[in-house]
Chain A
Amino acid sequence: MTDILSFTRNRCTSVEVIDDQTIRSFCRLQDTLTEAFVEITAQLPDLEITAVEGDIQRTHRKECLDSTEFLQKVRGVRIGPGMLEIIKGLLEETTECKELIFMLQECCHGVILSLTKDILLKAPEDQEGKIEFFSKMVRNNIRLYNRCAAFAPGSRLVEGLDPS
């Protein structure tokens, strides 16, 4: 067997600030079998999806060859906790094209990560400072506790937190 690839995939999600109230998020997929894009616009402060468009330019999936008008159903949905359930629920009854639904979700995650970046930019550079910073983050939002290895019991970031 040679090292020649059988398959490659490149998925890029980008977030742009249009103005102080508007964020645009764009997801593009290019792989051996599929090429597609989805773009959303969200309005602060509610992160309400105000515009959405998407298209599949290349695919082997018959269910993705139909019109992408169904994407408009998510207009008015707020990006936030529970959004994936809402998006899936609104769209799965209209389309079987799971790829576009996934890319819409990726756009939403991109928005959240872009806002998370602003918070994380405030973390100190030194190790002790970072531990203090992230420990405080968990204490301020207990939903983070045990969400991943970094915030699991035994981690320095949750030292002293009493789970009982």
Chain B
Amino acid sequence: MLKFSRNKLVSIARKDPDTLRIHGVLDDDLYGLEMEILVRLSDLKLISVSGKWNRWTTPECPKALSFLGIAVGFCIDEEGLEQKIQKTIGRRACRHFATLLIECCDSVKEVVRIIQWEEFRIKHPGLTFEEFLSGLSPDSSGSDTTRHVSMESDRIQDSQEPIQVLERIREVDSVPDRALGGMVIDLHTHSYPASSCSSVSEDQLIEESKRIGLDGICLTDHNYVWNPDRVKNLTQKHGFLVLRGNEITTDQGHMLVFGLDLDIREKGIIKLDELRREVKKADGYMIVVHPFRGFLTFGVERLGLNLEKAMKRPLFKYVDAIEVMNGKVTREENDFASRVADGLGLSGIGGSDAHKASEVGLYATRFQNSIVDEKDMIEMLKRGKFSPVAFRKRNKGILKKNRTATT
């Protein structure tokens, strides 16, 4: 018996010589929705977009309809259309409408080929579709545009439209970290443009770190190797310790790597065991970050992932430490990571995973000794002389509920 089924249906007809009418339907166990789109053939622009809900889940889902018009003016042929739809329709309206709209737009690209062939056939009767395609340039037989991007990933953030992130602040220890000596460094941050998902420059990130009283910050942008001289200049410019690392995407998830100058972008997605060999060769240090980041509506415990099974994940054989305090996951997910680290005898670090200035220092790592450069930090990491801390204090504690009366 099927547990779940999703059907997407797209029908396209020619409304008039310059207009396509597209009707899209998405029907699955959870949602039923439809879209009506008009596309002008002469410039491939969406001239009308509307939608209809047949079935939905939350009482507020119908609100999505008022945002569908954002897509008017989008061009079928524009670079990065799918990502644009995800960022706009997906975020402002609904990801399921975005999915259907992407399916409709992709179908339009196909029908344009058919129309071109039909028009070509007027002068060349008997020309088959395959012959027509063979006569086109090599690039035109397939779509060159980037097809699909991460829908689950936190990296999709529009720097022009800052998304408010609601931070769930934990109660922190009454003893300020500074009283314990050592240095507190945020080991996990992202800056723009090195990370396209960040909305804060490295200068702003550093200034905010100084303002809140951190002792240092690591720039750990996605698959990006910071130039060491540039980072030294930042330290001098701001009078503040700035160190560099790299958050590398592997086949087993994201890893924070320190002491490795390898530019992963050339290798694409690197296998974790291969990265481990590179880190070992470079005498570096590798930390798995947010290892138990769950899904939007359920966590990993829903999958039956208990402590014993989680500890058996092969990836833990390849890392030196685990990020047990990450600013972008739930408290439960952080706690679970902490229990796994304890069970495996691995050290835990803290990092904000900041993508905005206001996020930096939410969590950090306290080192027992003074650190002046990258070499010092890697040494301290290897000696295990550190612990994760919740650093950024807020006056407001647990979220308050203040519902208005409903009639």
Contact = CB atoms under 8 A, between A and B. Distances in A.
B170 interface: no
Contacts of A62: 141-142
B296 interface: yes
A3 B298 contact: no
Nearest to A144: B296
Interface string A7-30: 111111111110000010000000
Interface in B158-188: 163-168
Contact of A161 (B115, B166, B297): B166
A5 B293 contact: no
A105 B300 CA distance: 20
B103 interface: yes
B2 interface: yes
A157 interface: yes
Interface string A27-45: 0000111100000000011
Contacts of B249: 82, 85-86, 89
Given A13-B5, A16-B3, A85 B93 contact: no
Contact of B6 (A12, A83, A131): A12
B404 A159 contact: yes
B57 A123 contact: yes
B162 to A, nearest CB: 10
Given A1-B17, A81-B154, A143 B328 contact: yes
Contact of A120 (B252, B297, B306): B297
A161 to B, nearest CB: 6
Interface in A128-155: 128, 130-131, 134-135, 137, 139-153, 155
A1 B16 contact: yes
Given A115-B302, A134-B58, A6 B12 contact: yes
Nearest to A74: B251
B148 A84 contact: yes
Contacts of A44: 303-304
Contacts of B66: 149
A147 B152 contact: no
Contacts of B111: 6-7, 32
Contacts of B152: 80-84, 112
Contact of A110 (B6, B64, B91, B167): B6
Nearest to A63: B142
B110 A81 contact: no
Contacts of B64: 148-150
B92 A80 contact: no
B59 A156 contact: yes
A164 B305 CA distance: 33
Of the listed residues B5, B13, B60, B155, the one surrounded by the most CB atoms of chain A closer than 10 A to its CB is: B60
Given A1-B15, A14-B5, A101-B147, A120 B403 contact: no
B399 A162 contact: yes
A70 B268 CA distance: 15
B282 interface: no
Contacts of B167: 142
Contacts of B303: 44-47, 115
Nearest to B95: A148
Contacts of B133: 60
Contacts of B142: 61-64, 96, 98
Given A14-B5, A117-B4, A149-B63, A143 B296 contact: yes
A90 interface: yes
B36 to A, nearest CB: 14
B304 to A, nearest CB: 4
A82 B60 contact: no
A113 B168 contact: no
A143 B299 CA distance: 12
Nearest to B138: A62
A46 B313 contact: yes
B402 interface: yes
B276 interface: no
B26 to A, nearest CB: 10
Interface string B54-82: 00011111011011000000000000000
B8 interface: yes
A32 B114 contact: yes
A7 B16 contact: no
Interface in A82-131: 82-86, 88-90, 92-93, 96, 98, 101-102, 105, 109-110, 112-120, 123, 127-128, 130-131
26 contacts: A1-B16, A4-B13, A5-B12, A6-B20, A8-B10, A9-B9, A10-B8, A15-B3, A32-B114, A45-B304, A47-B303, A61-B142, A64-B142, A77-B251, A80-B293, A81-B290, A86-B250, A113-B6, A115-B303, A130-B59, A143-B328, A146-B91, A149-B92, A157-B58, A159-B402, A161-B166
Interface of A: 1-17, 23, 31-34, 44-47, 60-64, 76-78, 80-86, 88-90, 92-93, 96, 98, 101-102, 105, 109-110, 112-120, 123, 127-128, 130-131, 134-135, 137, 139-153, 155-157, 159-164
